Amino acid sequence: MRSRPNSFSTKGVVASSSLFASAAGAKILEKGGNVFDAALATSAALAVTQNNLCGLGGDMFALLRSEQGNIVDINGSGRAFSKASIEFFREKGLKSIPARGPYAALTVPGLVSGWIEIHKRCTMELKDLLLPAFKLADDGFPVTQNYSESIELSARYLAQFDEWKNTFYRHSEPPTPGSVFKQPALAKTLKSLMEEGLDSFYRGYIADRIIRGLEGYDIPISPEDLRNHKAVVEEPLSTEFLGHTLFETAPNSQGATVLLWANMIEEFYLEKGRMPDVVELINLGILSYEERDLSIADPLFHPLPKEFTTKDFARRILKMEPKHSSSGKGTGGGDTTYFAVADSEGQSVSMIQSNYMGFGSGIMPKDMGFVLQNRGSYFTLKENHHNSLAPNKRTFHTLCAAMLEKDGIFEASFGSMGGDIQPQLHIQILMGLIQNIRDPQSILDKPRWAFPYTIYEKPSGIICESDDLLHSIEGKIKGLQCHNNGFSSEFGHAQIVSLTPEGVVVGAADPRGDGVSVPVLPFR
């Protein structure tokens, strides 16, 4: 039985991990906006209602598909500050990058730069697209259980920072579920964006406020770091997969991992005449992750091998034996949010945005209402590693967003939060979509498996959500034990929007989070 019905519409659907954000995007579509208008409004609303997971101080990646079928990849990830170097940390006596606090805030916020590129494709005025987010911050919104619990959990690490504590942990406790939570400082920042324009975040009044608001913190940021930042617009990576075309975001996103894995699945199918079972699928995934760990980083510093997404490369990797280790920590989770928008004409946005860990670094420019991400803490201080910290370098990024076509016709946009396990979630969703794009909710409700670890480790275990999966996996993958952790957010919060051959848009949202898919009504 489905946890909730699919959303069907002859116009369009917005599926996000927040009811308020999905409703904001759907309302824009109902007013005559296009999917890019809806995406910007949805993204901005998420930066208010789920700013534990994402926000103005975080990053984004997106695939944008026009009505003509052109797909572009927007990389809105920030580079390390020009003064952020291994030497900077050594002078502080640090052997690793802290996960929280001022020294975790060392990359430029990229979300708003992605908005700049999306808005170039919009039809509505910026002020109208940011208005829902502004009102959610100014008037407040009813707090969900997950949001309240996230604040309570994060307070263990972040209550030491006065700006964060005064914003989120008022009266020594988090806002209670169902209470109305207002964020006047964030509303003021959004109002400035509406009046000054998005570029002001990097090269104007808001940029100046960010720099001034960080005075007193030992953060190596400079005005030039903001002024020099722009999102990268490029072609997405893609591969042909069993009669479909799969698109993924390019490095420094880890999306290429999904393409290698998909290519190996297809080669397995051609050789064996059947699809891999769950154990075989996991072994193929471990092989793809081993190549991920060696090859994906900032392509300006460490280019992705040209053959990485080819069938020939997949055939070579298939001949290898996966490596396992009992020394891995099984880490790699992250706090992120994914959403998808599509209309009946095949226009779509597949977008993911993140602070990395919950509320990022915890550091907030004074009176601006948003936290700076701690994505830079994924860098290493080991000089010989391809993901070592360097000024103006983008770290390996767990964020990735996907899109699926068949014969040049849009089929689906999908993705999930989940840190390092995101490619694993993409593959499990992909395997469901190629069987049935009409019922995405059943795909999201299905129990999942994962082998969590970072690029600095080897997998040390497998987790799953059901006894059936446990019985299928346990004892069958050398060196890796499997545990049933139950239905849990550690297996991601995914969203899907698909398009049937009849032109009906179908939306689904993950029951593990606060997700809701909202259809555009055929009447006003």
Catalytic site positions = 336
Please enumerate in sequence order all residues whose Cβ is within 8 A of that of 343, keeping only pairs 6 or more positions apart, or say none. Answer: 11, 12, 29, 34, 35, 505, 520
Residue 254's φ and ψ, nearest 5 degrees, are -85, 15
CA distances (Å), 101 to each of 78, 157, 371, 421, 485, in order?
A: 18, 9, 11, 25, 31
Asked whether the beta carbons of 349 and 36 are under 8 A apart, the reply is yes
Please enumerate in sequence order all residues whose Cβ is within 8 A of that of 282, keeping only pairs 6 or more positions apart, or say none. Answer: 449, 451, 462, 473, 477
Please tell me the total number of residues recorded for the chain in this structure: 524
How far is residue 464's CA from residue 486's CA, in Å, rounded to a whole number? 7
Q: Is the dihedral of CA 250, 251, 254, 258 positive or negative?
A: positive
Token representation of residue 59:
């990053």
CA distances (Å), 375 to each of 222, 303, 311, 319, 474, in order?
A: 18, 20, 32, 35, 34
Asked whether the beta carbons of 306 and 277 are under 8 A apart, the reply is no
Three-state DSSP class for 191? helix
How far is residue 79's CA from residue 43's CA, in Å, rounded to a whole number? 21
Please enumerate in sequence order all residues whose Cβ is within 8 A of that of 20, keeping only pairs 6 or more positions apart, or say none. Answer: 45, 48, 49, 132, 136, 141
Residue type, 34: N
Residue type, 138: D
Asked whether the beta carbons of 3 and 499 are under 8 A apart, the reply is no
How far is residue 448's CA from residue 214's CA, in Å, rounded to a whole number? 42
Give the start-end residues of each E strand in 365-433. 402-406, 409-416
Asked whether the beta carbons of 505 and 13 are under 8 A apart, the reply is yes
Please report, in angstroms and rounded to a whole number, the separation of the first and last CA atoms in the chain: 32
Please give the helix or strand (H or E) that residue 284 lies within, else none. Answer: helix 278-295
CB atoms within 10 A of CB 511: 15
How far is residue 102's CA from residue 200's CA, in Å, rounded to a whole number? 23
Three-state DSSP class for 469? helix
